[in-house]
């Protein structure tokens, strides 16, 4: 993903678009993939499930922390902690990266799968939800850059039938 920026209110930046007071930023069918959650000690943060291509639930990312599931442990999910970041790997494949900028801002990079095995983001400049330089949402033939969505229940809702909704209530 591009970057997530937190302020006092739950504002999230995804592909240069701002989602304010939006509890689910990205959802596939009935499965939230990026959510804003309230944490007692930290205010607002994100929660992102990490699935394998076969739909196995491997880990959950909450803010800048990654928590393995029992299936993630069995699969051999590994965490590495280079300076200022956390890297989640399965074998040689990087599944998720968290780059910590400061206490309020993290930048994430991920190849997200859904529980049914759909690949939400392609990397390496191929078609993607977030374009290869992270500057805009690419949805089909539409490029969305610099938009603000305020108060919607679901920011981007992708469905297995190929339809996409933006700013859904």
Q: What is the pLDDT along the chain (169 residues), one digit of tens a residue?
A: 455 544 455 678 877 788 888 999 888 899 998 888 877 665 777 888 888 888 899 999 887 788 999 999 999 999 988 888 888 888 888 888 877 766 555 666 666 778 887 776 533 333 345 544 456 676 667 778 888 999 999 998 888 887 888 889 8
Three-state DSSP string of 30-46: CEEEEEEEEECCCEEEE
80: buried, middle or exposed (CB in 10 Å: 19+, 13-18, 0-12)?
exposed
Rounded CA gap, 22 and 35, in Å? 8
Cβ 14 vs Cβ 2: under 8 Å? yes
Tokens linked to 105: 């801002």
3-state secondary structure of 72: helix
> Which pTM value belongs to this model?
0.76
The parent domain of residue 153 ranges over 4-168
pLDDT of res. 1: 47
Domain total of the chain? 1
Q: What is the pLDDT of residue 128?
A: 42
Two tokens, residue 63: 């803010």
Is residue 40 helix, strand or coil?
coil
Sign of CA dihedral 35, 23, 168, 14: negative
Question: CB neighbours (10 Å) of residue 69?
Answer: 16
């Amino acid at each position: 993903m591009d970057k997530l920026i937190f302020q006092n209110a739950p504002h999230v930046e995804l592909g240069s678009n701002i989602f304010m007071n939006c509890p689910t930023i990205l959802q596939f069918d009935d499965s939230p993939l990026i959510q804003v959650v309230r944490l007692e000690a930290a205010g607002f943060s994100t929660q992102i499930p990490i699935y394998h291509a076969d739909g196995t639930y491997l880990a959950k990312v909450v803010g800048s922390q990654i928590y393995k599931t029992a299936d993630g442990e069995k699969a051999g999910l590994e965490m590495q902690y280079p300076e200022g970041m956390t890297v989640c790997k399965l074998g040689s494949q990087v599944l998720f990266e968290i780059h910590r900028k400061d206490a309020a801002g993290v930048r994430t990079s991920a190849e997200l799968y859904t529980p049914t095995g759909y690949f939400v983001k392609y990397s390496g400049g191929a078609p993607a939800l977030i374009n290869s330089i992270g500057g805009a949402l690419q949805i089909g033939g539409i490029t969305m850059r610099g938009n603000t969505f305020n108060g919607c229940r679901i920011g981007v809702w992708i469905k297995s039938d190929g339809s996409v909704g933006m700013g859904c209530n």
